[in-house]
């Protein structure tokens, strides 16, 4: 009897052990699968130095092609009609409208010349459809401090962060929408004329005196504080760069010669594409299902609009193929764009020993109740692969511009080159910013790197636009108005 009981107990133990072994085996298999997906991803996203040089060379070649003829390249290399940048002497009351980043804003900037610089700066947030109404309300709420002589038009710098073919400093045709904007009837229209009309209908005495891309505003704002600023880069929801070009290096530009020998070029580098870009099946699927398939490929690898979404797609694959989050794929993980780059950076920057933030974000955003530390660590690694690739490619893009400008070799008389950078990804994704800067330093080598400065510039699309409205004011000779 006793023997039978012992045997039965042994059988139960053996069965339980078998279950545990099976579970461990299954677990090990899942991990092996997840690790294989990660390993494959790391390989495909790798951007080693040699590849980055090829990307930079391709950027340089495309820049030249885009400058040579209108449709010569994926890079539009748009002439901005900004042929002089703020000097610091600008004075007067100006307004700025900022459309195309995360929010729509109206700003009022009082410029006080060299001594006082920006005296006051205020803003309100509103919606696109209510631009003119928002301006009217903003102006109506103004106190006596902001009085302009009778009959004077208020002047507005309009930052419109999309590809625009400018026809003058204050007019331009929308080529296409990017990021998550898509109002089809606006494409092909002069957006300033549309805005001026809306302003007029509201009875407001105001007019756009400068239409600028956010990169151009950032270049102006950068130049305002540092005279060696020659390039501006935005790494935010979208990505782009602008720089100062010699007029004689723009063969396609034969309308009229500007007053100085320079012209700011809005590259629209988000649309850059090259066979050297490390693309994965995740990027291809994201592109195919995007609002603009086949376009903005560089932007889709490097900017805030997309990096979180790439991470989501990778995690979904790991959930489906390796049951990373348990036997069932979390339904929310299947929702496109649910995971923002902002969430990605919070998880990536989690330094707590048990990765508390990762656990919290997975729960809050994707409804994943509980995860092991090992799983959370894997999630961080996925974020790292995607961010590192984006940052290294951004560095290669900057290197390409510096190469085009002949600033990547050493010589005693080489001037300092300052690159003004703005945008949420650069500002808040510390890993991204640091990785981009160290990659650029490595590419340049120590000696050249010592003359290249990356400078964070805040609010180029606000202050920069107001500064350009001042530089191109219709009242430039009128001291009373610009006092
Ligand atoms: C737009 C650019 C803009 C950049 C950064 C891109 O999607 O095409 O015009 O400068 O985003 O905002």
Mutate to test the pocket of ligand 1, among 99, 104, 162 (most ligand atoms within 8 A of CB): 162
Q: Is 214 in the pocket of ligand 1 (CB under 6 A)?
A: yes
**CB burial readout 209-218, b (16+ within 10 A) else e:** bbbbbbbbbb
Name the catalytic one among 214, 262, 283, 287. 214
Known active-site residue 60: no
Question: How far apart are the CA of 423 and the centre of ligand 1, in A?
Answer: 11
Residue nearest ligand 1's atom 7 by CA: 238
Query: Cβ neighbours of residue 99 under 8 Å, at least 6 residues apart?
Result: 128, 131, 158, 159, 160, 161
Known active-site residue 479: no
Compute the CA torsion angle 301, 303, 309, 311 (nearest 10 deg).
60
What's residue 119's pLDDT?
59
- Total Cβ atoms within 10 A of residue 299: 23
Which ligand 1 atom sits closest to the C-alpha of 179?
7
Question: How far apart are the CA of 266 and the centre of ligand 1, in A?
Answer: 10
What whole-number distance in Å separates Cα of residue 465 and Cα of residue 99?
11
Neighbouring-strand partners of residue 265: 79, 243
Q: Is 178 in the pocket of ligand 1 (CB under 6 A)?
A: yes
What's residue 127's pLDDT?
37
What's residue 124's pLDDT?
39
Q: Is 100 in the pocket of ligand 1 (CB under 6 A)?
A: yes
Query: Cβ neighbours of residue 225 under 8 Å, at least 6 residues apart?
Result: 457
What whole-number distance in Å separates Cα of residue 152 and Cα of residue 84?
24
Q: What is the pTM of this model?
A: 0.91
What whole-number distance in Å separates Cα of residue 410 and Cα of residue 392?
23
Mutate to test the pocket of ligand 1, among 76, 99, 100 (most ligand atoms within 8 A of CB): 100
Cα–Cα distances (Å) from 214 to 226, 268, 435, 464, in that order, read 18, 11, 23, 8
Segments in the chain below pLDDT 50: 122-129, 481
Q: Is 60 in the pocket of ligand 1 (CB under 6 A)?
A: no
What's residue 281's pLDDT?
97
What's residue 120's pLDDT?
58
Q: Is 179 in the pocket of ligand 1 (CB under 6 A)?
A: yes
What's residue 254's pLDDT?
81
Q: Tokens 């560095």 sit at which residue?
A: 395
């Amino acid at each position: 009897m006793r023997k039978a009981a012992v045997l039965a107990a042994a059988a139960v133990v053996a069965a339980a052990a078998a279950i545990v072994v099976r579970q461990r085996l299954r677990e090990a298999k899942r991990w092996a699968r997840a690790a294989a997906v990660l390993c494959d991803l790391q390989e495909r996203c790798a951007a080693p130095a040699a590849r980055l040089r090829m990307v930079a060379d391709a950027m340089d070649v495309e820049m030249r092609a885009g400058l040579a003829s209108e449709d010569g390249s994926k890079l539009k290399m748009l002439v901005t009609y900004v042929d002089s940048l703020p000097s610091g002497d600008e004075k007067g009351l100006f307004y700025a409208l900022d459309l195309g980043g995360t929010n729509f804003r109206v700003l009022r900037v009082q410029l006080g010349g060299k001594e006082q610089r920006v005296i006051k700066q205020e803003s309100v947030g509103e919606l696109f459809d209510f631009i003119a109404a928002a301006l009217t309300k903003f102006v109506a709420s103004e106190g006596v401090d902001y009085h302009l002589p009778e009959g004077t038009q208020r002047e507005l710098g309009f930052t419109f962060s999309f590809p625009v073919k400018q026809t003058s400093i204050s007019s331009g045709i929308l080529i296409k929408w990017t990021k998550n904007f898509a109002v089809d009837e606006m494409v092909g229209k002069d957006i300033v004329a549309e805005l001026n009309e809306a302003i007029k209908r509201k009875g407001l005495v105001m007019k756009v005196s400068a239409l600028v891309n956010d990169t151009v505003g950032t270049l102006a704002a950068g130049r305002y504080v540092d005279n060696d600023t020659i390039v501006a880069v935005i790494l935010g929801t979208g990505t782009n760069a602008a720089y100062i070009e010699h007029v004689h290096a723009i063969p396609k530009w034969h309308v009229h010669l500007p007053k100085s020998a320079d012209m700011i070029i809005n590259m629209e580098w988000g649309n850059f594409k090259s066979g050297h870009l490390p693309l994965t099946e995740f990027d291809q699927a994201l592109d195919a299902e995007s609002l603009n398939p086949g376009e903005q490929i560089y932007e889709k690898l490097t900017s805030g609009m997309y990096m979180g979404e790439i991470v989501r797609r990778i995690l979904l694959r790991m959930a489906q193929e390796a049951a990373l989050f348990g036997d069932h794929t979390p339904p929310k993980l299947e929702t496109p764009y649910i995971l923002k780059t902002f969430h990605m950076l919070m998880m990536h920057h989690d330094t707590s020993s048990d990765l508390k933030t990762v656990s919290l974000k997975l729960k809050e955003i994707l409804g994943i109740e509980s995860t092991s530390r090992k799983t959370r660590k894997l999630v961080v690694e996925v974020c790292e692969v995607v961010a590192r690739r984006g940052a290294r490619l951004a560095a290669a893009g900057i290197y390409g511009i510096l190469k085009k400008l002949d600033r990547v070799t050493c010589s005693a008389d080489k001037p300092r080159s300052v690159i003004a950078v703005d945008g949420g990804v650069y500002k808040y994704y510390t890993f991204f910013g640091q990785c981009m800067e160290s990659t650029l330093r490595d590419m340049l080598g120590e000696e050249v790197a010592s003359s290249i400065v990356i400078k964070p510039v805040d609010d180029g699309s606000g202050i920069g636009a107001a500064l350009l409205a001042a530089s191109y004011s219709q009242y430039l000779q009128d001291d009373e108005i610009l006092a």
